Amino acid sequence: MIVLRTEREIGLLRNANRIVADVLVELADRVAPGISTGDLDAVAECMIRERDAIPAFLGYHGYPKATCISVDEVIVHGIPGRRRLKKGQIVSIDVGALYKGYYGDAALSVPCGEVDCERRRLLETTDRALARAIAAARPGNYVGDVSCVIQKTCEAEGFSVVRAFVGHGIGTALHEELQIPNFVTGKKGPKLREGMVMALEPMANMGTYEVRVLEDGWTAVTADGKPSAHFEHSIVVRKDGGEILSATPRRIWGQDTSDQ
């Protein structure tokens, strides 16, 4: 069942997502050549717990870390560890928090130092796809309309959209019934109504959309080894488009929701 949240619940979801946004800002600032993904994860877990919240990903279906940190060809679910970042890589950071019974979930991709033109264009395009998807999340539209906007934005620039993973409803569970593909499935899907809360998360690849999952059972990489980018916001459907619950307190890469 798709739940329509009350304003009280939306306030609680906003609080959970504010924690996530604060963590994303801090980790994005720390991305630099030489730092390990495990170091970033440790900072995130500490920040979440200091705010009386629980890392939502830690232990979720056995996932071993507080964050997902995915580098270059890793699309999502990269497990933080000893890997040290290098200049020119795309670093995608996905954070979740449980606060007073409600979940926050958001992600962004940032360049590690200077990146080449194609990686920068991939980042800009995926960011733009999320912004346009949020604008399309209004009553009367369908899930398929949001999916179409994401796919058209990415494919117009020559990139592919991942089909193996989708956006989702969020609230008192990290993943709720509503699913939002990043591509057109041929079905309209549910009609959007004010009060629906969802995590929109376009994932775009420089090459094929096909995915391969590594032996750890989590790390999803592009089948051709080319770079990927991932952006995500938790939003609530409003009459004028999606209201971002996970908005950051200042501009960082991947958080500009204007239609570029």
Question: Per-residue pLDDT tens for 96-114?
Answer: 999 999 999 999 999 999 9
d(CA 183, CA 154): 10
User: Residue 93's pLDDT is what?
Assistant: 98
User: Residue 256's pLDDT is what?
Assistant: 42
Question: Would you say 27 and 252 are in contact if contact means Cβ atoms under 8 Å apart?
Answer: no
User: Residue 249's pLDDT is what?
Assistant: 75
Cα dihedral 148, 151, 153, 156 sign? negative
Tens digit of each residue's pLDDT (9 = 90 or more) over 9-51? 999 999 999 999 999 999 999 999 999 999 999 999 999 999 9
Paired residues of 102 in beta bridges: 99
Query: Look-up: residue for tokens 């999320």?
Result: 130
d(CA 189, CA 239): 19
Query: Look-up: residue for tokens 């999606």?
Result: 242
SS3 state at 145: helix
Question: Would you say 101 and 170 are in contact if contact means Cβ atoms under 8 Å apart?
Answer: no
Paired residues of 241 in beta bridges: 238
pLDDT for 260 beyond 50:
no
* E strands present in 56-201: 67-71, 74-76, 90-99, 102-111, 160-161, 167-169, 176-180, 197-200
Matching CATH number, 7-244, of 3.90.230.10, 3.40.50.10490, 3.20.10.10, 3.30.360.10? 3.90.230.10
Confidence of residue 259 (pLDDT cuts 50, 70, 90): very low
How is the chain split into domains, by residue range? 7-244
Tens digit of each residue's pLDDT (9 = 90 or more) over 132-151? 999 999 999 999 999 999 99
Tens digit of each residue's pLDDT (9 = 90 or more) over 37-95? 999 999 999 999 999 999 999 999 999 999 999 999 999 999 999 999 999 999 999 99
Question: Would you say 201 and 133 are in contact if contact means Cβ atoms under 8 Å apart?
Answer: no
